[in-house]
C-alpha cells in the first residue's frame, strides 16, 4: 500500500512538473513572439462610442485573445441595453477581431413630455438623447410622429433615464393597422397628426387629416374597426360643411358632434 501511494505521488509530481514546463515554455514563446496577443480589432462602421466600448472589452483579454469569446455574450447584452444597436463579432485571422454593428431601425417617432422617442417594430424604445443616436444623425424625415398624451400610462419604465434602450408599452401592431386603415381611406388625402389619449378610462385617438381641401380633426375610439365603421358618416359630414377647419367628436354611441371654425 505504501509503495502504491508513493507511486501515485510520484506520478502527480511528474505531471505537475510537465505542466509547469509546458506552461513556462508557452509563456516564453508568448513573451517573444506574442502568439496569443490581440493583434488588431476593427469596428465597422467606425464610431467613437463603439470603439471605446470595444477597447474596454478587449483590454481584459489583450494578452490571450481567445478569452474574448467567453465574455462576448455579456458584453453584447450590455451594449445593446445602452445603445440602439445590434452587434456581432467575427475573426479575420489569428488575433484579428472585427466588431460589426448596425443601428436599430425605428418604425415610429413618439413625442412624450417634450422628448422624441424612437420605437422599433417590436416595441423597443430609446430617446433622442441617446449618445449613439445623436452621433449617427439618422435620417427619420417623413416618419410619422405620434403624440403620447399625459393621460396615458408611462411609455417606458424609468422615464428619467434618457440614455438606455428598453421595452415600451407602445401598441405597435394596433397603430400600424389603424394608420394603414386611415391612409387607405379614399376620402383622406393625408394623415398629418395622431395622438393617443385616455378619456374616461377608455383609449382614444385624435387624428388630423387633410380631406377635400379641409383640415379635419377627429376624436374616436382607438380601433381599426371603429374607424372603418364610422368612415362613411365622417365622409358625409366633411363633404357637407363649407368650413376649412372641422372638429368631429365621434366618441358617442349614437351621434357625432360637429364643431367648425
- Give 164's DSSP letter: S
Q: What pTM does this model have? A: 0.81
Contact 94, 108 (CB under 8 A): no
Question: pLDDT (tens digit, 9 = 90+) per residue, 81-98?
Answer: 999 999 998 888 777 888
**20 or 190, which is more confident:** 190
**251 or 5, which is more confident:** 251
- At 10, the pLDDT band (50, 70, 90 cuts) reads low
Contact 189, 211 (CB under 8 A): yes
Nearest 10 degrees: Cα torsion 237, 242, 243, 248: 0
- At 172, the pLDDT band (50, 70, 90 cuts) reads very high
User: Can you tell me the distance from the alpha carbon of 111 to that of 118, in angstroms, rounded to the nearest whole number?
Assistant: 9
Cell of 147: 403624440
Query: Residues near 166 by Cβ (< 8 Å), separated by ≥ 6?
Result: 81, 124, 125, 126, 156, 157, 158
Place of cell 417606458: 156
- What is the mean pLDDT of the segment spanning 231-252? 93
pLDDT of residue 20: 62
Q: Assess whether pLDDT exceeds 70 at residue 158.
A: yes
Q: Assess whether pLDDT exceeds 80 at residue 183.
A: yes
Q: Assess whether pLDDT exceeds 80 at residue 136.
A: yes
pLDDT of residue 56: 82
Amino acid at each position: 500500500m505504501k509503495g502504491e501511494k508513493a507511486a501515485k505521488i510520484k506520478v502527480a509530481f511528474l505531471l505537475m512538473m510537465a505542466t509547469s514546463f509546458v506552461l513556462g515554455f508557452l509563456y516564453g514563446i508568448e513573451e517573444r513572439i506574442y502568439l496569443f496577443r490581440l493583434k488588431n480589432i476593427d469596428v465597422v462602421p467606425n464610431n467613437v462610442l463603439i470603439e471605446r466600448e470595444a477597447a474596454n472589452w478587449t483590454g481584459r483579454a489583450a494578452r490571450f485573445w481567445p478569452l474574448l469569446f467567453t465574455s462576448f455574450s455579456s458584453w453584447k447584452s450590455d451594449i445593446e441595453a445602452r445603445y440602439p444597436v445590434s452587434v456581432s463579432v467575427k475573426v479575420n485571422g489569428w488575433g484579428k477581431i472585427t466588431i460589426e454593428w448596425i443601428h436599430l431601425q425605428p418604425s415610429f417617432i413618439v413625442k412624450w413630455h417634450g422628448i422624441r422617442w424612437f420605437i422599433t417594430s417590436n416595441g423597443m424604445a430609446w430617446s433622442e438623447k441617446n449618445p449613439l443616436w445623436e452621433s449617427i444623425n439618422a435620417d427619420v424625415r417623413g416618419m410619422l410622429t405620434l403624440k403620447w398624451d399625459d393621460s396615458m400610462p408611462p411609455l417606458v419604465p424609468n422615464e428619467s433615464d434618457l440614455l438606455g434602450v428598453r421595452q415600451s408599452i407602445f401598441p405597435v401592431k394596433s397603430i400600424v393597422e389603424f394608420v394603414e386603415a386611415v391612409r387607405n381611406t379614399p376620402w383622406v388625402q393625408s394623415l398629418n397628426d395622431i395622438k393617443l389619449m385616455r378619456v374616461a378610462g377608455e383609449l382614444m385617438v385624435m387624428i388630423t387629416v387633410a380631406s377635400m381641401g379641409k383640415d379635419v380633426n377627429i376624436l374616436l375610439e382607438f380601433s381599426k374597426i371603429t374607424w372603418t365603421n364610422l368612415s362613411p358618416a365622417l365622409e358625409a359630414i366633411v363633404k357637407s360643411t363649407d368650413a376649412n377647419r372641422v372638429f368631429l367628436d365621434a366618441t358617442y354611441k349614437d351621434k357625432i358632434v360637429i364643431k367648425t371654425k
